[in-house]
Amino acid sequence: MSDHSFSGLTTHVLDTAHGKPAAGMAVALYVMQGDDWALLKQAHTNVDGRLDEPLLAGAALVPGRYRLVFDVEAYFRSLGVDLPTPAFLGQVPLDFGMADDTAHYHVPLLVSPWAYSTYRGS
């Protein structure tokens, strides 16, 4: 059941290679300020592949251009996956815009060592 009154930004990561949530993956959130990306927050996913709290919530949710960066290579190496050097996927950036400061933006990542996808979830 989702809370449609929540305004903010959330994410989760699913490890499609192993069919499970990606626990312990490093995630960083940036906002575009002028011509540069400014770091807002860093966190690691929990056992459910989610963050323990929203990346942005309430008044902190400001319309703009954002980037989530997921450290895919470090995650799969920590599991002992045999990756080439350099790995095909290192850090995966997802650039997206948020226009409505009253909406819930959920930006998940589905990932394997060789592919990823995302969508705007709920």
How do residues 82-104 score in pLDDT, each as one tens digit?
999 999 999 999 999 999 999 99
pLDDT at 5: 64
At 49, is the pLDDT very low, low, confident or very high (cuts 50, 70, 90)?
very high
Average pLDDT over residues 19-31: 98
Cβ 51 vs Cβ 57: under 8 Å: no
For domain 8-113, which architecture applies? Sandwich (2.60)
Indicate the domain borders of the chain.
8-113
**Conformation bin of residue 49: beta by default, left when phi > 0, alpha when psi is -120 to 50:** left
